[in-house]
Amino acid sequence: MNLALSDEQVFLREAARGALSRFKTLEAAREALDGDEGALPDLWPTASEAGWPGLLISEEHGGAGLDVFDAMLVLGECGRVIAGVPLLGHLPATAILDVASGAPMIDELATGEKRAAYLPVSPPGDVLDEWTVDPHSGIERGAAPQLDGDTVSGSFWFVPDAPRADLLVGVALRDGEPVGVAVEAGAQGVTVEPVERYDATRSLGNVTLEGAPATVLDTPADTLAAAWHLAQALIAAESLGSVETALDVSVAYAKERFTFGRAIGSYQAVKHSLTEVLRNLENGRSLLYYAGWARGGAPEEFPLAASAARSVAGRALDGAARTMISVHGGIGATWEHDAPLYFRRAQLSRRLLGGTAGATDRVAGELLTRA
């Protein structure tokens, strides 16, 4: 039994924290919301220098060949400071490419010279027995893209990190069977339209493929499905990083703000709401360990583990952001404070990539199928 971080993992996390601390990410997030998009620092050179783009690419392709859990540690650090590092799109894409033979751009994606974005297609579940994409709006899921010869057609809404990606990687159906596809963002028939965001640090794009030329990948179907769950695990890790900061800031304030002659953190109502944030955070952390272990140690449990992590982390972040606002009183709901940035992050994150509710449903589906 060993669920402790290795020395290398502690180093990876500390190095990420150090690298990101050089940027005023929170100030930039607020300025970007005010319309100054240029305020957001370009964190990709920092990511490339640290080797993050190649985290999940094997060493033979120039990457670091690390595990899902290592990637989650980096995402957690990004979440702590709400840094817009486009790894949520890049990493699942590289996981699909890495196991394919002759994958395009793989060496440049490993070094960060090129960027990829994952086109999210959710694998079949116990009730909805087909590959589907998130709808633009409403609850009816959309059809997965179709591969016809060597061209692909389909549309995707709110794709993380699509706007500046060089390569779009995902799943398309060929005669009803899933196959991996890679499409160059500059190719004919590809449209990537950046989306105005509630959380300005989150780069999203609507992607339309109309007979776009695709490289067909020989990635196994289970890896294609795992890419969706990998994205769930990564956004869970990122969310819990934000919960850590929201809790730290709220606890610090609860110790120094006095009412009726004593610190507000001494009142049970405040103390208990903060321990609830901690409870959700600890539950989420435990599930990150589960997901990290399951990817290699019990791959058949990875969908359950990643979905459970996403479900708990999404609720944890929503709760942490709301508690952060209420502990700070009125000021917590104003532009003067960082709390709204965490709140905006929470509300948008919970609706991306199938949504927290979709992950919760998959937890039930996985358990009911096995029962």
Partner 1 sequence: MDLDDTPDQAAFRAQVRSWLDEHASEAPVLSGPDALQDEDAIIAARRAWQGKLAEGGLAGLTWPKEYGGQGLGPIEQVIANQEISRAKVPGILDAIGVGMLGPTIIAHGSDEQKARYLAPLLHGDEVWCQMFSEPAAGSDLAAVQTRARQQEDGTWRLSGQKVWTTNAQFASYGLLLARTDADVPKHKGLTMFIVPMDAEGVTVRGLRQISGEAEFNEVFFDDVQLEEGAVVGGVGNGWGTGLTTLMFERVTIGLGSEGMGYNSTRFASALARDEHVRRDHEVRHRLGEIAAELIAIRFTGYRTLTALQKGQVPGPEAGLAKVTLVNGAIKAGDLIADVFGPDALDDDSEWAYMISFLPGLKSAGGTEEILRNTIGERVLGLPPEPRLDKGIPFSELRSKEGAAA
User: Which residues here bind partner 1, judged by CB under 8 A?
Assistant: 1-4, 6, 69, 126-127, 247, 251, 254-255, 262-263, 265-268, 270-272, 274-276, 278-279, 282-287, 289-290, 292-293, 297, 304-305, 307-309, 311-312, 315, 357, 359-365, 367-368, 370-371
Which own/partner contact pairs does 104-107 have at CB distance under 8 Å and 24+ positions apart? 104/167, 104/182, 104/184, 104/215, 105/166, 105/167, 105/182, 106/57, 106/61, 106/62, 107/61, 107/62
Q: Are strands 190-194 and 204-213 parallel, antiparallel or unpaired?
A: antiparallel
Q: How far is the CB of 276 from partner 1 (least distance, A)?
A: 8
Residues 6+ apart with CB under 8 A from 267: none
Q: How far is the CB of 17 from partner 1 (least distance, A)?
A: 20
Which of 48/360 has CB closer to partner 1? 360
- DSSP calls for 240-251: HHHHHHHHHHHH
Which residue, 67, 123, 97, is CA-closest to 303?
Answer: 123
Which of 55/159 has CB closer to partner 1? 55
Using CA atoms, how far apart are residues 339 and 333, in angstroms rounded to an integer? Answer: 7
Q: How far is the CB of 278 from partner 1 (least distance, A)?
A: 6
Q: How far is the CB of 223 from partner 1 (least distance, A)?
A: 21
Using CA atoms, how far apart are residues 180 and 172, in angstroms rounded to an integer? Answer: 6
Q: How far is the CB of 173 from partner 1 (least distance, A)?
A: 24
Using CA atoms, how far apart are residues 204 and 134, in angstroms rounded to an integer? Answer: 13
- DSSP calls for 304-345: HHHHHHHHHHHHHHHHHHHHHHHHHGGGGGSTTSSHHHHHHH
One-letter identity of residue 50 = A
Q: How far is the CB of 3 from partner 1 (least distance, A)?
A: 5
Which of 9/206 has CB closer to partner 1? 9
Which of 270/321 has CB closer to partner 1? 270
Which residue, 165, 228, 162, is CA-closest to 195?
Answer: 162
Angle at which helix 221-256 crosses helix 339-349, to 10 degrees, equals 160
Residue 14 tokens read as 């500390």
Which of 151/356 has CB closer to partner 1? 356
Which of 60/260 has CB closer to partner 1? 260
Q: How far is the CB of 218 from partner 1 (least distance, A)?
A: 30
Which of 17/271 has CB closer to partner 1? 271
Look-up of token digits 């940035």:
341
Using CA atoms, how far apart are residues 328 and 322, in angstroms rounded to an integer? Answer: 10
Which of 117/287 has CB closer to partner 1? 287
Which of 32/308 has CB closer to partner 1? 308
Q: How far is the CB of 40 from partner 1 (least distance, A)?
A: 32
Using CA atoms, how far apart are residues 215 and 100, in angstroms rounded to an integer? Answer: 11
Q: How far is the CB of 98 from partner 1 (least distance, A)?
A: 20
